[in-house]
């Protein structure tokens, strides 16, 4: 897997705000499981910090040193009691050893898709299983691939927003190509930042590679690696799965 680079991290919080209801969903599940919880791919802490604020001990494992630096800065501004419930570790989700087990491991915000081969996916799931108590649960979400969208490499999406601290306007354009055989998306995010006079003050590109996973492929992976699927939801309101929407998996470690 390739960790996020600095160019993407600099603008990450402006454009990548998650999905409706996802934070509340993961906080609720963390409360059910109780301490300690492991979050894989916490990024800048959008899910991790609210869980710690809900009186849950949480470890965050992330492969991106740059992401962790942003998160550590956010954590340092929290109350001491909340800080003491947070442990941050740099590591690869396909190969880590934390020396403790958890009642819940979660991978929010589609972070599982950073694993680019079936081999790494299996390694990650088995490694996660080794870090779960008997009957512990894995909860994660990912987008459900729509073939009509994946076949279209001509689409360019654009978003823009304002940096609250400076008032500068930032435009993000993203394009992607799709390797249908390997199920891999090669995305490119272009960021242009303009000051209050309209002068461009920054222009950067940030590549991002993901491997999409089909519904029954994911179910097979989980079962192959020692998990029993408890639920597959289509959203964070626990609605039914719908093609082309979201896959929200709840799986229990066997044994």
38 and 108 part of one domain: yes
- Is the per-residue pLDDT at 22 higher than 70? yes
Classify residue 107: in a domain, yes or no.
yes
Q: How many domains does the chain have?
A: 2
200 and 217 part of one domain: no
- The answer to whether 241 and 232 have CB atoms below 8 angstroms apart is yes
- The CATH code of the domain that includes 156 is 2.20.25
242 and 137 part of one domain: yes
**Spatial separation of the C-alpha atoms in residues 33 and 129, rounded to whole Å:** 16
Residues whose CB falls within 8 Å of the CB of residue 220, separated by 6 or more in sequence, listed in order? none
pLDDT, tens digit (0-9, with 9 covering 90-100), for 85-98: 999 999 999 999 99
- Is the per-residue pLDDT at 3 higher than 80? no
Phi, psi dihedrals of residue 23, rounded to the nearest 5°: -65, -50
Give the pLDDT band of residue 17 (cuts 50, 70, 90).
Answer: confident
**Spatial separation of the C-alpha atoms in residues 107 and 224, rounded to whole Å:** 19
101 and 51 part of one domain: yes
152 and 169 part of one domain: yes
**Spatial separation of the C-alpha atoms in residues 27 and 53, rounded to whole Å:** 10
> What mean pLDDT is reported for the chain?
95
Give the pLDDT band of residue 10 (cuts 50, 70, 90).
Answer: confident
52 and 92 part of one domain: yes
44 and 106 part of one domain: yes
**Spatial separation of the C-alpha atoms in residues 231 and 248, rounded to whole Å:** 8
Bond prior to 36 in cis (omega within 30° of 0): yes
184 and 222 part of one domain: no
Classify residue 1: in a domain, yes or no.
no
pTM of the model: 0.93
169 and 72 part of one domain: no
pLDDT of residue 1: 58
In this prediction, what percent of the chain has a pLDDT beyond 90?
89
More confident residue, 255 or 206: 206
Span 228-249, mean pLDDT?
A: 98
- The CATH code of the domain that includes 120 is 3.40.50.150
Tokens encoding 139: 């909860």
15 and 139 part of one domain: yes
Q: Give the domain extent around 197.
A: 147-211
pLDDT, tens digit (0-9, with 9 covering 90-100), for 159-183: 999 999 999 999 999 999 999 999 9
pLDDT, tens digit (0-9, with 9 covering 90-100), for 58-92: 999 999 999 999 999 999 999 999 999 999 999 99
Span 118-129, mean pLDDT?
A: 98
130 and 234 part of one domain: yes
- Is the per-residue pLDDT at 7 higher than 80? no
């Amino acid at each position: 897997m390739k960790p996020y680079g600095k160019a993407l991290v600099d603008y990450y919080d402006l454009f990548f705000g998650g999905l409706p209801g996802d934070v509340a969903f993961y906080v609720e599940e963390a409360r059910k499981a109780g301490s300690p919880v492991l979050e894989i791919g916490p990024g800048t802490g959008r899910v991790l910090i609210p869980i710690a604020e809900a009186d849950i001990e949480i470890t965050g494992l992330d492969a991106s040193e740059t992401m962790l630096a942003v998160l550590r800065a956010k954590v340092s501004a929290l109350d001491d009691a909340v800080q003491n419930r947070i442990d941050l570790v740099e590591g690869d989700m396909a190969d880590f050893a934390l020396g403790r087990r958890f009642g819940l491991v979660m991978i929010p915000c589609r972070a599982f898709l950073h694993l680019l081969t079936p081999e790494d996916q299996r390694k990650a799931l088995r490694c996660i299983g080794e870090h779960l108590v008997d009957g512990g649960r894995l909860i994660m979400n990912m987008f459900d691939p729509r073939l009509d969208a994946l076949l279209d490499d001509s689409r360019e999406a654009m978003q823009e927003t304002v940096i609250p601290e400076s008032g500068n306007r930032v435009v993000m354009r993203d394009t992607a190509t799709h390797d249908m055989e390997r199920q891999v998306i090669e995305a490119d995010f272009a960021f242009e930042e303009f000051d209050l006079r309209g002068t461009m003050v920054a222009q950067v590109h940030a590549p991002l590679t993901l491997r999409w996973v089909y519904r029954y492929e994911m179910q097979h992976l989980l079962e192959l690696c020692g998990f029993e699927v408890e639920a597959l939801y289509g959203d964070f309101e626990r609605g039914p799965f719908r093609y082309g929407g979201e896959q929200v998996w709840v799986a229990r470690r066997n044994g």
